[in-house]
Amino acid sequence: MSNQAPITLAVTADPRYARLVRMTAANVAMLSQMSVDRVEDVRMAAEEAFIYACSVVPDTALSISFEVDESHVSLSLASAVDEFPSAADGEPAAYADLILSAVCDAYDKATSPAALNLYLKADV
């Protein structure tokens, strides 16, 4: 499979849309050479990033872009705000930050505009 055009999902930061985000992520991951366990990691990472955004910038417009090839899936979750506020320990956003750092091969937060960038390699 050659590089494909990005797959983009526009959604409001509302927890009611978490299932839509995680199912889209799982379907995108199935386009790579990932094992079922790694597809589950992508699904979980997308959901955690979305829940993170919902907790720190609720009800804002989000753009979620996926890129996929045989070897990886990358996801960028962007908002029109300049940056995501810092989360205090114990808040849902702090928990999501911990999970994203553990599950993703690379994870960072960008500013202007705010974005969560996730990169997960295929395992097969």
What is the arithmetic mean of pLDDT over 67-91? 85
2, part of any domain: no
Could you give the number of structural domains in the chain?
1
What residues contact residue 80 under an 8 Å CB cut-off, 6+ apart? 60, 61, 113
Give the integer Cα–Cα distance in Å for 121 and 113: 25
Residue 96: alpha-carbon gap to chain centroid: 11
Residue 111 belongs to what domain range? 7-121
Cβ-contact 75, 110 below 8 angstroms: no
Tokens standing for residue 44: 């979980």
pLDDT tens-digit map of 51-68: 999 988 899 999 999 999
Residue 1 belongs to some domain of the structure: no
Whether residue 77 is contained in a domain is answered as yes
User: What pTM was computed for the model?
Assistant: 0.89
Give the domain CATH number at 46: 3.30.565.10
Asked whether the beta carbons of 42 and 27 are under 8 A apart, the reply is no
